[in-house]
Structure 1
């Protein structure tokens, strides 16, 4: 074959590949445009302003398709099914309490990077930290002083075994940063414990010192109680993940891994009475993967996979009643009490 013929074939091949690339780009753009448009029948979304000084409201990540998807949103506690107000602030993970907020933001690129923003009561940035991994859980103590966040160092799900996490805690009064809870002293079954495979995640604060969290080691998970001041945690119970302490501090809700369940979400929602150590299964029997919240001292709220990625449901914490839809297309809600 002559050199000229080879050149013609090469040019034709490049042209064909270019046409395919352009067609795919236009197709992807079309899908993105369609995704960004509000979907008929979805939650009503309006632009507005709000902050952390209000009461009797829920703030959350809006998951409804449209220009405000992923924006921070707000609804009144007595109007969770109505129109939601959104602000330009985008948060992949969010929590707030006591006039302090924590927002994990994503910077998209060939490799996504995440930043942890500490916000004041007006949702203005106070400090920013590199997340160092994919975001998982965030929590603020009731007073707003302490903030915790967990990231995946490897893996992106708690369902398997091939993951590693790192949990940090910061004091917003002194800005003392505990970069890795794995440096805390562990008391397991009453004895000092050390292992290179220890992981922590899902911190929930009872106050500015006392907290609960998940510890994993040797293929098992434990509910642990810890103190920031002494940098110490103690195991309380096996098979408990992503705890959430009640507003009155007497109970902890958590995910209980169901033996023999090989599904992607092998957990059921339970509540532990910290005074009696009695465990109660809730009326929610669907599998879930969430660090649940408390609407009040009697009611839990949590995410269930749905059309918009997840909807929020509520259920009594004492095992009675039945699950009920709280709001559609919402994630990581925080109640302003």
Structure 2
């Protein structure tokens, strides 16, 4: 989809965007020294990014001590002993996907071009998905372009862009994909497809290289641990420029439950368990915090991990 003219424009935009990210990382300080543990965090853990550094906190005391590593990522996620890390690898738009094991050893790298935005790992750790902005850097704007890929860590099979997949029922040439989330069979997945002015929840089949639209106004889906529900961001009044409301959809009945978080959230929610999701929110000063909220529409949003983003239960 990208022409030579677009590539030139994208490079200029990326320079500005990545410059802003550098400033953001400076503002997003790592956990204060008083909260950094002198040894490993024990018990159930939550992985987060602290000032871009892979870190872990205790699930029972997420605001307490954290273990900060030297591995740096723009976006990260972990599951099944596999860590996905989107990180810079050179000047301007050059970057890479680094697949790490639970000991932080690099298993595979994939060169990428674009601004890192989303990443997910299947529950088994076998499948890794990611999304980058190729043109633009906001889902609220018009005319942006994304690149979303999937890697089968076990076989090495790599799909660099879901635009290679066929769409059941067809789709326009303007289609973009983002926000992959995997089912337990390591073949099917859900994602967002934008085409013709609509943003659809699609179900994909990795082996068949196909996707099929399921529902309108669903972005950045995240499949529940039991595979029955999708947490996602829904554009207010169907207009992304009005912001997004985190919601949960029952896949069988298509019943939608808006969650108690009424602020606009531009993130892919992460299920902490069957009853709670976590997400990143940026403060006015540019610092991010990880928040959580119940998935049944009750309760009150609360800060889960201060000065952090990219939450993933381990």
Give the TM-score range, shorter chain: 0.7 to 0.9
Instruction: Report the equivalent of 1:65.
Output: none
Instruction: Indicate how the Cα distance of structure 1 residues 45 and 224 shifts in structure 2: closer, same or farther if over 3 A, else same.
Output: same
Please list, as runs of the form range in 1=range in 2, the aligned pairs for 1:73-152 lying within 5 A after superposition. Answer: 73-107=55-89, 109=91, 111-152=92-133
Instruction: Indicate how the Cα distance of structure 1 residues 275 and 86 shifts in structure 2: closer, same or farther if over 3 A, else same.
Output: same
Instruction: Report the equivalent of 1:214.
Output: 192
Verify: 1:233 aligned to 2:184, yes or no: no
Please list, as runs of the form range in 1=range in 2, the aligned pairs for 1:310-329 lying within 5 A after superposition. Answer: 310-329=288-307
Verify: 1:273 aligned to 2:261, yes or no: no
Instruction: Report the equivalent of 2:281.
Output: 304
1:312 positional shift: 1.1
Q: Following TM superposition, where does structure 1 have runs of at least 4 consecutive aligned residues deviating by more than 3 angstroms?
A: 35-45, 47-51, 260-263
Aligned to 2:60, the other structure's residue is in SS state: helix
Instruction: Report the equivalent of 1:66.
Output: none
1:91 positional shift: 0.9
Aligned to 1:259, the other structure's residue is in SS state: helix
1:157-215 Cα offsets, whole Å, 9 max, x none, are 1110121011111111110101110111112xxxx203210100000011201211000
1:28-86 Cα offsets, whole Å, 9 max, x none, are xxxx9xx96997995744266769xx862011110xxxxxx321111010011112110
Instruction: Report the equivalent of 2:10.
Output: none
Q: 1:256 aligns with which of 227, 230, 234?
A: 234
1:302 positional shift: 1.0
Q: TM-score, normalised by structure 2?
A: 0.86
Tell me the number of residue pairs that the alignment of Structure 1 and Structure 2 aligns.
290
Which 10-residue stretch deviates more, 148-157 or 305-314? 305-314
Partners of 1:175 and 1:40 in 2: CA distance: 34
Cα RMSD between the aligned structures?
Answer: 2.5
Instruction: Indicate how the Cα distance of structure 1 residues 154 and 328 shifts in structure 2: closer, same or farther if over 3 A, else same.
Output: same
Partners of 2:34 and 2:209 in 1: CA distance: 45
Partners of 1:161 and 1:37 in 2: CA distance: 28
Larger radius of gyration: 1
Instruction: Report the equivalent of 1:160.
Output: 141
Please list, as runs of the form range in 1=range in 2, the aligned pairs for 1:14-29 lying within 5 A after superposition. Answer: none
Partners of 1:139 and 1:243 in 2: CA distance: 11
Aligned to 2:312, the other structure's residue is in SS state: strand
Partners of 1:258 and 1:126 in 2: CA distance: 40
Partners of 1:40 and 1:182 in 2: CA distance: 37
Instruction: Indicate how the Cα distance of structure 1 residues 219 and 39 shifts in structure 2: closer, same or farther if over 3 A, else same.
Output: closer
Stretches of structure 2 lacking an aligned partner (at least 5 in a row): 1-21
Instruction: Report the equivalent of 2:36.
Output: 46
Verify: 1:246 aligned to 2:228, yes or no: no
Cα contact 1:43–1:328 (8 A) shared by 2: no
Instruction: Report the equivalent of 1:334.
Output: 312
Aligned to 1:283, the other structure's residue is in SS state: coil
